[in-house]
Structure 1
Amino acid sequence: MTRQELDRHLQQILEVARFKDYAPNGLQVEGREQIETIVTGVTANRALIEAALDLKADAILVHHGFFWKNEDARVVGLKRQRLGMMLSNNLNLFGYHLPLDAHPTLGNNAQLAHKLGLIADGTFGDQNLGVIGVLSDTLPLSILADHIAQQLGRVPQIIGDMTKPIRRIGWCTGGAQGYFSDAIAQGIDAYITGEISEPVVHTAREADIAFIAAGHHATERYGIEALGRYLAGEFELTHHFVDIDSPV
């Protein structure tokens, strides 16, 4: 397929136009026109670009791309090196941030729910990015923590009574600790996201709501991989998911 066809299709299925975001969604770096092999990964970085070149990819698709709001706009240093590698090799870069978080089947929140066995029944928060749902069975927080660690391959940081029974859960992948108060208003027992900031500790304790910081990277590995699998099946593209690990 062509670069333009891929861009149009992703703009449509991810409903890019309805989101207010902190970075451009869609084609961020223009490369060759014909696309047969795609590489997906969480974050655009040098290691991912090098892997894509080794795999002879025509395009990279990521959740965290380039050109974030308020960043230095100059093409110098690491930014120049990354862009130079892509431009000199005619490699396309597509980035999808909030639209990928929110997609009802391919998105990060939907894929995390599938991974953890969460059953969604509503949304909340800014642009309806947060999700509310339930576990299939009520579990002590300690057992839920063990389950998350096993499924994500990362031990989560938890604030809360480990004996507390958990049934109703709010979640939003990545750096969504700012949605915690909105989630509490939904009557949850626990909230799952990627990161935690210091004030959130006290909110969790005083509200007696478990806060589970399961890792920004760890909670956002699954949406971009699912998107790549979907595109490969829909358009007979060759797809490789490359997981450049991050401890955050």
Structure 2
Amino acid sequence: MTSAKILGQAFDALLEPEKFRDYGPNGLQVEGDRDIQWLVSGVTASRALIEAAISANADAIVVHHGLFWRGQDGRVTGWMRERLRLLLAHGIHLFAYHLPLDAHPELGNNAQLARVLGLQAEGRFGEQNLGFLGTGTQTWTGPQALADHVAHTLGRSVTCVGDSERPVQRVAWCTGGAQSYFEAAIAQGVDAFITGEISEPQAHLARETGVAFLACGHHATERYGAPALAAHVAQNLGIQHRFIEIDNPA
């Protein structure tokens, strides 16, 4: 049998959450009362994921987006009450790792997105070195060719803004809501930047600098780290793992 303490220690040893300034607590967020034989991974600790984990008879869940964030209303009412009620009623442990899971060089969201898209990481950039730099296994004839490749691979539409004639070889990427990293990526001399979301200023910057900006979906770019982490730890601890995908168009 594996306890929550042992599982948490395994996650912490890999991700080293103490090294990050984050927006919420990393590690065990809700303590259950079960020995752990079945671990479920997912992107976000939504009610739908919790209900699916209950149906799968999970003992623990590990996600990228947990329940608690800096500055949120601390009252346990409404949707928060229901998520907590389900976890506590079924004795399920909830673990969450945000920036540490983005950053891990092999199992993290950025590393796993690179694996899926065929990108070779060669360096880091940006705040807390969360952004990745590298090249593709091919040179795309322009931003739209790269966008088509990403859309086909991730199975969702991509918003692409940039110089349609500029070949793309050197790429920067940072999963999720990392649009604020765009200027730092431009300074690295890349041809394109891949992330999850786009805000109003980035479209202008892309047009004015010629560096393409690809918004590929917050959820879509961050659905690979949690299952990679969970599968690795589950194998080492001799427990079972299952990734549960809860679709999200954002």
* TM-score, normalised by the number of residues in structure 1: 0.98
Alignment of 1:102-141 (within 5 A): 102-140=103-141, 141=143
Note the C-alpha offset of 1:81: 0.7
1:218 paired residue number: 220
Structure 1: 5+ residue runs without aligned partners? none
Q: Is the 8 A contact 1:142 1:163 kept in 2?
A: no
Deviation at 1:179, TM superposition (A): 0.5
Letter of the aligned partner of 1:70 in structure 2? Answer: G
1:202, 1:51 → 2: CA distance? 41
2:173 paired with 1:156: no
Task: Name the CA distance, whole Å, in 1 between partners of 2:166 and 2:238.
Answer: 48
Supply the distance in 2 between the matched residues of 1:215 and 1:120 (Cα, whole angstroms): 20
Could you give the per-residue CA deviations for residues 140-196 of structure 1, whole angstroms, max 9, x where no partner exists? 222211110111001110001333200000000000000000010000000000000
Tell me the amino acid that sits aligned with residue 59 of structure 1: A
Letter in 2 for 1:216: H
**Distance in 1 (alpha carbons) for counterparts of 2:164 and 2:155:** 20
Cα distance between partner residues in 2 of 1:228 and 1:12: 13
> Would the aligned equivalents of 2:157 and 2:216 in 1 still touch at CA under 8 Å?
yes
TM alignment of 1:164-183, pairs within 5 A: 164-183=166-185
CA-to-partner distance for each residue in 1:175-224, whole Å, 9 max, x for gaps? 00000000100000000000000111111111111000000000000000
After TM superposition, the runs of 4+ consecutive aligned structure 1 residues lying more than 4 A away are: none
Between the aligned residues of both structures, percent identity stands at 55
Question: 1:39 — aligned with what?
Answer: 40
The alignment partner of 2:42 has SS state of strand
| Alpha-carbon distance between aligned partners in 1 of 2:43 and 2:222, rounded to the nearest angstrom | 7
- Counterpart for residue 11 of structure 1: 12
Where does the alignment leave 5 or more consecutive residues of structure 2 unmatched?
A: none
Aligned match of 1:82: 83
Q: Secondary structure of the residue that 1:131 maps to in structure 2?
A: strand
**Post-superposition offset of 1:76:** 0.7
Residue range with higher mean Cα deviation, 177-186 or 162-171: 162-171
1:209 is matched with which residue? 211
Q: Which residue of 2 aligns with 1:71?
A: 72
Shift of 1:128: 0.3
Q: Distance in 2 between matches of 1:162 and 1:51?
A: 43
8 Å Cα contact 2:25-2:68 kept in structure 1: yes
Root-mean-square deviation over aligned CA pairs: 0.9
2-structure distance, mates of 1:151, 1:101 = 20
The answer to whether the aligner puts 1:51 opposite 2:65 as a matched pair is no
